[in-house]
Amino acid sequence: MPMNRKESVVRARIRTDIKEEAQEVLDNLGLTMSDAIQILFRAIAKNKRLPDEFLVPNETTLAAMSEIEASRFVTYEDLKTFKEDVLKRIQTNEKSGSKQAVHQGS
């Protein structure tokens, strides 16, 4: 390592069971905890964000993904058709007094 680089010490509290599982994996890979942390920090510094593997969808995102997969959303060929349908749904909701969101149902 070049002499002009400074090093810092990082301390973190980690649940013992998670640390032990991670240590076992790292041992099998021939890496130390320090190696793993340096790899993570380098990826964050280089990409200016967390690696994609860390970006797990929350419940709201998972629900939205499920709705899309179940094809509960209407798709449109063009903007004009979309606008016409949205206006029709709004008018229908106003007449019925419904507070239902426009994107639900078809």
pLDDT at 41: 95
Interacting residues of 85 by C-beta distance below 8 A, sequence separation 6+: 74, 76
Across 13-22, average pLDDT:
96
The answer to whether position 22 is within a domain reads yes
The answer to whether position 45 is within a domain reads yes
User: Number of folded domains in the chain?
Assistant: 2
Q: Same domain, yes or no, for 78 and 49?
A: no
Q: Does residue 9 register a pLDDT over 80?
A: yes
The answer to whether position 79 is within a domain reads yes
The answer to whether position 66 is within a domain reads no
Across 11-30, average pLDDT:
96
DSSP state of 57: -
The answer to whether position 2 is within a domain reads no
Q: Are 89 and 102 in contact (CB under 8 A)?
A: yes
Burial-class residue 102 by CB neighbours within 10 Å (0-12, 13-18, 19+): middle
pTM of the model: 0.49
pLDDT at 72: 67
Q: Same domain, yes or no, for 20 and 50?
A: yes
